Amino acid sequence: MIARCYVNTIAPCVFQLLAMRYAMIAMKTIEEIRHDWLSRLIEKHGTVAALNEALGRARTDATLLQIKNQAPNTRSGKPRNMGSDLAREIEEKLGLERGMLDNQISALPPVFTAAQSTPAPGYVRFDRLDVQAAAGGGQLANEYPEVVEQIDVLERWAREHFDGMLFSRIRVISARGTSMSGTIENGDVLFVDVSVNHYDSEAVYVIARPDVGVQVKRLQMMGGGRLAILSDNPKNMPEYVEKDEMNTVRICGRVLASWTLKRLWIESAG
């Protein structure tokens, strides 16, 4: 399934519409909802073995298949179901929103729904790549990152923030770490102009270094052709690359904008 995210102003009538929509949908038990999601995830990955692999489990692990087939528990004789611990593990391993597997698929609001083959009128689509640019220690670079989902945003918002720019040049990635805190936070969604492959002015870039991996850093050219790699978090010290070592830093793109999502509720333990 392809994630679809909308950037829009939420009017009060939207909440009324969602409330009506939820009321019209027959309520399912949490076990049924998680079973539906498991079936959807198996369908997305192709096989139970492939899903196991994506979760870091042995391909032959029978747990998910037993839950899918609702095989009877050897102790209680009742059908096997997905518990909260397993649901949270799957969400974490697949990069899904926490609690997502507890929401009915058909009841999800428009911020997460199956995308059409083309964006809806008034929206533009960006590919999100399987890349985590570290605002801290580097993540290992993938020369040909996979498109893992697509994000639709209001065309009006995109033109306001990327005025005069070809949208086809923009890709979306995730940030990890705290070294750019104050500008970019851990988990932020970054919009990157991947056509920029050289330094042209002080800005925040996505860079790759053989000994570090992929990072998001502020670059500043110093006297004598020396390049400063800066972290906006004052707790982190700057790094410097001499002119004759420039070939060790590859610029992968320039960061144009970011989205920060703040968690307002955390499920209590137990």
CATH architecture of 123-259: Ribbon (2.10)
User: b vs e for 17-28, b when ≥16 Cβ sit within 10 Å of the residue's Cβ?
Assistant: eeeeeeeeeeee
**What residues are paired with 220 via a beta bridge?**
228
For 243-264, what is the mean pLDDT? 86
Residue 226 has pLDDT above 80, yes or no: yes
Does the pLDDT at position 79 exceed 70?
Answer: yes
Tell me the backbone φ, ψ of residue 221, rounded to 5 degrees. -85, 130
More confident call, 60 vs 24: 60
- CB of 64 within 8 A of CB of 42? yes
Confidence of residue 63 (pLDDT cuts 50, 70, 90): very high
51 vs 14: CA distance, rounded Å: 35
Higher pLDDT, 24 or 147: 147
Q: CATH 2.10.109.10 in the chain, residues? A: 123-259
Q: Are 175 and 185 in contact (CB under 8 A)?
A: yes
**Which pLDDT value is given to residue 168?**
85
DSSP 145: -
What stretches of the chain show up as alpha helix (H) in DSSP?
12-24, 30-45, 48-54, 63-68, 84-94, 155-161
The one-letter amino acid at 15: F
- Please indicate, yes or no, whether the overall pTM of this predicted structure exceeds 0.75: no
pLDDT digit string, tens, across residues 88-128? 999 888 877 788 888 876 543 333 333 445 778 888 888 88
- The overall average pLDDT reported for the chain is 78
Percent of the chain, pLDDT > 70?
75
Nearest to 239 by CA among 261, 263, 269, 211: 211
| Average pLDDT, integer, range 216-237 | 93
DSSP 3-state assignment of 66? helix
| 35-52 per-position pLDDT tens digit | 988 988 888 778 888 899
Core vs surface per residue 101-131: b (16+ CB within 10 A) or e:
beebbeeeeeebbebeeebeeebbbbbbbeb
Judged by average pLDDT, the poorest of 6-15, 63-72, 195-204, 214-223 is 6-15
Each residue's pLDDT tens digit, 133-176 = 656 554 444 544 556 678 888 989 899 888 778 888 899 988 88
The pLDDT value recorded for residue 11 is: 33
- The larger pLDDT score, comparing residue 69 to residue 25, is at 69
- The torsion angles phi and psi of 39, rounded to 5 degrees, stand at -60, -40
Rounded CA Rg of the chain? 22
